[in-house]
Structure 1
Amino acid sequence: MADDSTTSEEPKLGSGHHKEEVPDRIYLISYPKIVFLYPTLFVSIVAAIFMTIAGESAYVGGNREHMAEVMALVFLGVFGFNMTVLAFDFPRTTSLTLFFLGVALFMGAWMLLRFNPDIVPALTNVLKGLRPWANSQMYWLFSGILGLIFICVGIYVRFDYWEVRGNELLHHHGFLSDLERFSAPNLKIDKEISDIFEYILLRSGRLVLHPRNEPRAIVLDNVPFISKKEKQITRMLGALQVQVRQDNN
């Protein structure tokens, strides 16, 4: 009888289903919205490098368009998209659909006027007069300023972050490492995706923590990889509850 019981348990142990390891601690950082400007920073650096190598007098398509004008249009387009993300919230797929519909209509109208300039001559002349231009120094300066702000943000968040452990929630803040402690067991977590674009850019969202015996909820905005963080916290607290029940038994 003893041999039969051991052989029946072996396939369960070697079934190949590995549980994910529960982390000892999870760090939660709430970033300012400026971090969503990283696409603009990337395009600015690329434009600065290209303009430095190719030169400001480079042409594309023969003598029709300056590369400086093309790079400026690309930069302004990405910058405009980033500013739209910062200025408005797109909480639902319907708003996302309307946004892309507006972009598609704008691009369609622009292409129509470009290849058929006689449809609306006055508007076509206005568009032809728009010839944005920037040299490499402008892109380098913009990249340097925005990059410096990113560095300052990275330093700042190292002095203001949250740490979730198995039995407590810690808030580290201040240059002198001030510490606040909250009870982690029975911690309620709410995950909110308030903006689809912000979630696409950094997988970020709002995390609302409800510690036990605390009258106010803790709201953390712009937490990167929020779905992964929420699952890790849930696994950690779930494992803690199982251990407590086993100890009680």
Structure 2
Amino acid sequence: MSTDAKSPEPPPSTVTVPRSREKGIKIFMWPKVIYIFPSALVALICAMGMYWLPHKAYDATVPPEPVLIDAKSVDPNAPAPVQNAPGAPMTRRERFNTPQNLLGLLFLVVLAFNLVVMGLDFPRFELIGIILAVLFGIFFVLWLGAYFDLDLMRPINQVLASVYTFANAGFYLMYALAVLAVLVIVYITRWLDYWEILPNEILHHHGPLSDLERFPTMNLKFDKEIPDVLEYLMLGAGRLVLRVPNVDRAIILENVLFIGTKEEALKRLMSRLDVRITTDKDDPLV
């Protein structure tokens, strides 16, 4: 009967697989020219509208000039062409309601709105004050018209009737393509200056050769600000302020898109601190 002792089984392996390092959060600062994209979308709509309205790029109140035909170039045996009697010219009110004029006004109004958003900042209370002032002005004008029995819509209708703007489909299409080219350039060049926040450090990449600045994230504090309500409503844009210890000035990141998502990602990232002791082979020390 064999009494050979069984060899002891080897202990289970205690080698742990190194945890993948946190990729971090990339934060880009965008120029305000990106807020012009609604006018490009409206320009495409107007281009399609004018494409289905051929021969409408003219002033409808002016009758077309007659075309002179040389009698020598006309075949005497050919039947006489049928000529339509010119209709009565449109009134200014009818001209204002033409599709080409309404498309032109739509494009100009949206473009003006985009320029206002790019040029001015509207904080929350300032925007509320402007809306209240406009509503009060409209109420006051309507009250004057009702009290003094004035037809206030007549001068407004006269001003609107004198407005007539139009462009062909090529103009709207070229405008949309130009804006699209600018946005593509902005999207590509955003990598020339951006920030990357890791659990242990903050990296600032800038310059064509990707110069690098490093800041610690120990005791990092950050604030989210909404300087412009309209920009926030369009693309969720805001300002991110990073306060790094032992740094004299705060790091201000302007015009960060979808700042609410960035704020939540920063909260999750800063809630843990990545500490690792590794060798050159990235194997943990036992």
- State the TM-score, normalized to the length of structure 2: 0.65
Choose from 181, 184, 191 the match for 2:214: 181
For the pair 1:219 / 2:218, whether they are aligned, the reply is no
CA separation of 1:73 and 1:162: change in aligned 2, threshold 3 A? same
Mapped partners of 1:128, 1:31: distance in 2: 40
Unpaired runs of 5+ in structure 2? 1-20, 61-93, 142-149, 277-286
For the pair 1:75 / 2:90, whether they are aligned, the reply is no
What displacement does 1:127 show?
2.2
2:30 counterpart residue number? 31
What displacement does 1:169 show?
0.5
What displacement does 1:225 show?
0.9
After TM superposition, the structure 1 = structure 2 runs for residues 23-172 of structure 1, keeping only pairs within 5 Å, are 24-57=23-56, 65-93=97-125, 95-96=127-128, 98-99=130-131, 102=134, 119=152, 121-172=154-205
1:201 counterpart residue number? 234
Q: Is the 8 A contact 2:28 2:193 kept in 1?
A: yes
Mapped partners of 1:173, 1:162: distance in 2: 8
RMSD between aligned residues: 3.0
Mapped partners of 1:236, 1:189: distance in 2: 12
Mapped partners of 2:44, 2:250: distance in 1: 40
Residue 213 of structure 1 aligns to a residue whose secondary structure is coil
AA of the residue aligned to 2:37: Y
Render the CA deviation track for 1:77-120: whole Å, top value 9, x for unaligned. Answer: 111211221222221145246337638977xx8xxxxxxx9646
Residue 240 of structure 1 aligns to a residue whose secondary structure is coil
Mapped partners of 1:154, 1:104: distance in 2: 42
AA of the residue aligned to 1:67: P
Mapped partners of 2:233, 2:207: distance in 1: 31
Mapped partners of 1:105, 1:147: distance in 2: 38
AA of the residue aligned to 1:77: V
After TM superposition, the structure 1 = structure 2 runs for residues 218-237 of structure 1, keeping only pairs within 5 Å, are 218-237=251-270
Residue 121 of structure 2 aligns to a residue whose secondary structure is coil
Mapped partners of 1:136, 1:103: distance in 2: 37
What displacement does 1:176 show?
1.2
Mapped partners of 1:51, 1:83: distance in 2: 24
1:3 counterpart residue number? none
What displacement does 1:23 show?
6.1
Residue 158 of structure 1 aligns to a residue whose secondary structure is helix
Mapped partners of 1:42, 1:104: distance in 2: 33
Moved >4 Å (runs of 4+): 103-106, 117-123
What displacement does 1:45 show?
1.7
Q: Is the 8 A contact 2:22 2:199 kept in 1?
A: no
Residue 89 of structure 1 aligns to a residue whose secondary structure is coil
The structure where helix makes up a greater share of residues is: 1
CA separation of 1:175 and 1:223: change in aligned 2, threshold 3 A? same
- State the TM-score, normalized to the length of structure 1: 0.74
AA of the residue aligned to 2:42: V
AA of the residue aligned to 2:103: M
Q: Is the 8 A contact 1:93 1:196 kept in 2?
A: no
AA of the residue aligned to 2:115: M
CA separation of 1:96 and 1:141: change in aligned 2, threshold 3 A? farther
Larger Rg: 2
AA of the residue aligned to 1:152: I
